[in-house]
Structure formats: C-alpha cells, structure tokens
Amino acid sequence: MIILAILDGWGIGKFDDSNPIYVAKPKNILGLQERFPYGALKSSGLLTGLSWKEAGGSKEGHLAIGTGRIIEKDEISKGTKIPNSLGEVLAANKKTDLKVAESLKEECVTYYFNGLQKEPLEGEFRAILPSENSPNPETNTEMRATAITDRAIASINEGGFDFILVNYANPDIIAHTGNFAATKDSIQVVDREIGRLLENTLNQNHALVIAGSHGNAEVVLDPKTGKPETTNNPDPVPFYLAGKEYEKAGTQIDPYAQIPTIGMLTDVAPTILELMNLPIPQEMTGESLLPQLT
C-alpha cells in the first residue's frame, strides 16, 4: 500500500523568523529529513502550466501531481478530461484507492487529481469530511486534520486499499488569512498528524509519500511592509519518501540546510506508479524520482 499525504500550501521558504513554518519547528517533518530520502519540487510557473513565475495553487498542484504532466491553463478552462491520470492507471490495473480530505478540498483531490474527471473511477472510494466553515478560519487551526488522519489510519489498518490519498488543508486555508500565529499553529497541527500517519504506516510496513501542493504558508507577511500577505507563493515544495526499506541508518544532517531540488510536481505520479510496480503511461511527462532517492 502507498499513502500519499499532500500538505496543501506548504512551501519551502526562508529559514528565519519571517517564515511561520520555520518558527513552528515541525519536529516530525524535520525528523523525516534525518531518516528518509527527501528533496524539493518546483511547483509554480511554466512547470505547472501557468505563466512565468506565477504562483501555483491547490487546483493546479493537485492536477500536476495526479496527472504526471504539465497541463496548460487554457486546457484546464476547457475542462477536457486528461487521459491516463494516476487514478486511471490504478483503475486499469484493478487497484483500489481512497481519497480522504475535508470538503474545502474535495474538488482538488477528486476532479483535479483525477485529470478533470468528476465521477469516481473504478475502484475509487471517497471519504470527504464536512469542513467546519467559519468566517474566521484562523480561530480553528485544527480544522478536520485529526478526523482525516483517523479515517486514513482506519483504512490502512483494514488493508482494503492499494493507494490512499490524504489532504491536509490547514496550511493553505489558514495562511490565506495572513495571520502569522494561526498559520504557525496550523503547521504544528499538520506536523502532529503526519507523525501519527507515519507511525501507523511504518507499523504496517507500507510506504508514505509526502508532498506539498504549492507555496503559501511560508510567507504570510509582506517583507517590505510587514502587512498580511494572503496570496500563494511561487516557492518549491517539500517531498519525502518514508518506509522501512528507505530508512537511512544514523544519518545526521542540518535540518535547515538548503534542500536540494530533485524535480517537480509532475514527477510524483510516476514515482508512485514505480513504487507500486505499475506501468508509467507515455502521456506522463514527469519522471520517477526513485533513482535520485534510493
């Protein structure tokens, strides 16, 4: 079983106090860098079908991750189904998969991840938890993260799926408020849940892939004015591959050293297919990251 956890809006920013992620000191994420292969993925601009230096977003990020190729913005607006997405390859090979997210990100983990296809694919199941919509989301940094992890862990333990997609919306939703303290708290919430998900995945001898969708939570204050900055950012995102067979024994690193760029979002789907020993369709222009990670 492969579990893919998408950290929505979790980008790689400066290693200083201007970055809520740095200030949050997410111990589980930092711990991954000491134990498992990791790197940075480009997530914006031309590499996600956007204009030069344009920041990526949740929709574009999930589309790139799920289809394994660059989809131009005008193609997205047409809404034409993208063939041979990760989900379609799973279905064609009689694999079962589960999407777990809260309703604010339902469209991202279904329609966009599946290549602009609304209806569930063969063997696909969806567990969409209602978001607790609030006019002041910064007052509820927990959102549905705990329940999402609970649902994912239950399915991992049951062993009925070949692939599970988990989305944590907290960093993106809270960062869009421009509230620094709340964004920091949301990072700590997701880090806690990643710790739970990782422990369970390793106990069951499965592999956990973790990737950001786009930059956002790493910059919530305008560096020139100090005022709230509520837009997405064109920064790269983290990528981790965790599993007992990928553990690096006794590795000591500086968790705040420059994270090497190893690819882009379109490389995630081919990587997952190789992990599952499934064929990578020629339509996927992304490349598996395994040669760089193992």
Q: How confident is the model at residue 226 (pLDDT cuts 50, 70, 90)?
A: confident
Does pLDDT of 242 surpass 60?
Answer: yes
Does pLDDT of 54 surpass 80?
Answer: no
State mean pLDDT over 32-47: 88
Cβ–Cβ under 8 Å, residues 20 and 184:
yes
Does pLDDT of 102 surpass 60?
Answer: yes
State mean pLDDT over 42-54: 75
**Assigned superfamily of 2-293:** Alkaline Phosphatase, subunit A (3.40.720.10)
Which has the higher per-residue pLDDT, 34 or 185? 185
| The two three-digit tokens of residue 255, written as one number | 């968790």
Alpha helices in the chain (DSSP H): 20-24, 27-35, 58-67, 73-78, 86-92, 106-107, 145-158, 170-175, 180-203, 268-275, 290-293
The residue ranges of every structural domain in the chain are 2-293
Does pLDDT of 252 surpass 90?
Answer: no
Closest-CA residue to 156 (of 280, 5, 278, 38): 5
